[in-house]
Amino acid sequence: MSRAKSVFLAAAPLLFVVLWSTGFIGTKGAALNADPFAYLTLRFTVAAALMALLTVALRAPWPTRAQAGRAGITGLLLHAGYLGGVTTAIWLGLPAGITSVLVGLQPLLTGLMSWPLLGERVSTRQWVGLALGFAGMLLVVEGRVGGGGVISHGALVAAVIALACTTAGTLYQRRVGAEMPLLGGTSVQYVASAAALGLVTAARGGGVIHWNTEFIVSLTWLVLVLSVGAILLLMTLIRDLPAARVGSLFYLVPPLAVLESWLLYGERLSVTSLAGLALCVAGVALAAAPQPSRAPARTS
């Protein structure tokens, strides 16, 4: 591995976590002003066009027909399913910070499934880290409910759907997407997602979008920074790092998203929830840290 690639892989996870955490805040800004499916159809359509323009401008390869089919499935899971669930949960009143915590259970599911499906061994230290992160998220939710917060069943179902889709999408992309051209393949993912959610929007009779400043700023940020920048980073990390390690990065997203939602929207957490966030950070420190290399056995 070249030095430049090593430096990139060392810095990319932290950059991804920071960018990804802002997605929950941007999603709240969009969900407060638009039907979730209409907004996502618009977001994916613009993102698909931008990725296609980048593919053409950089003369990057397009996926083959088989690769495009696999990219479409990945897109339906990682974009339409995951973001559809997250946006619907926030639209139904689930706070952005709490939504990020619930879907942050993804590392635990990814760790559980990566060994039987991908043959990637999860070390004892990583299991301890995943368990700490899981316990931390339970404390965050308990602190929210115990502090008088109200969580609707519909919002919880939407968050669970998002969790299932992002876990399945990460594992599927890791298993079949290694050879997919990054730019062209991501464009196909967005085309499939836009088409699927466009049909949902039409079936629901269309959706209202209020084109105010908050929505325009949120949409611009989500398309350029999340749907282009962060997604390209995620696809690269999934390709180059073990699935359990990539999944564990999502444990760092809730603490940042909670802080951002408190600063921008006044979403407050109890002492119990703050203790849970500390456990999340401790968990990712164990689960995401690179494994120490073993010295080769000495031969006589």
Phi, psi for 223 (deg, rounded to 5): -75, -55
Distance CA 172, CA 154 (A): 27
Q: What is the pLDDT of residue 295?
A: 46
26 sits in which H/E element: helix 3-31
Whether the Cβ atoms of residue 58 and residue 183 lie closer than 8 Å to each other: yes
Q: What is the pLDDT of residue 145?
A: 54
Residues 6+ apart with CB under 8 A from 248: 107, 111, 126, 129, 130, 133, 283, 284, 287, 288
Q: What is the pLDDT of residue 109?
A: 74
Distance CA 195, CA 206 (A): 14
199 is a domain residue: yes
255 is a domain residue: yes
Q: Write out the residue range of the structural domain in which residue 99 sits.
A: 3-288
Q: What is the signed CA dihedral for 168, 174, 180, 181, rounded to 10 degrees?
A: 100
Q: What is the DSSP string of 103-169?
A: HTTHHHHHHHHHHHHH-----HHHHHHHHHHHHHHHHHHHHHHHTT----HHHHHHHHHHHHHHHHH
Residue 127's CB: how many other CB atoms inside 10 A?
16
293 is a domain residue: no
297 is a domain residue: no
230 is a domain residue: yes
Q: Looking at the whole model, is its pTM more than 0.85?
A: no
Whether the Cβ atoms of residue 201 and residue 44 lie closer than 8 Å to each other: no
Spans in the chain with pLDDT lower than 70: 1-2, 4-5, 8-9, 107, 115-120, 140-151, 177-178, 243-245, 247-248, 250-251, 268-269, 284-285, 287-300
Distance CA 137, CA 159 (A): 14
173 is a domain residue: yes
Q: What is the pLDDT of residue 149?
A: 55
34 is a domain residue: yes
As for how many domains the chain has, the answer is 1
DSSP, collapsed to helix, strand or coil, labels residue 33 as coil
Distance CA 131, CA 126 (A): 9
Distance CA 131, CA 234 (A): 23
Number of H helices, E strands in the chain: 14, 0
For residue 34, the cross-strand partners are 209
Distance CA 286, CA 180 (A): 31
294 is a domain residue: no
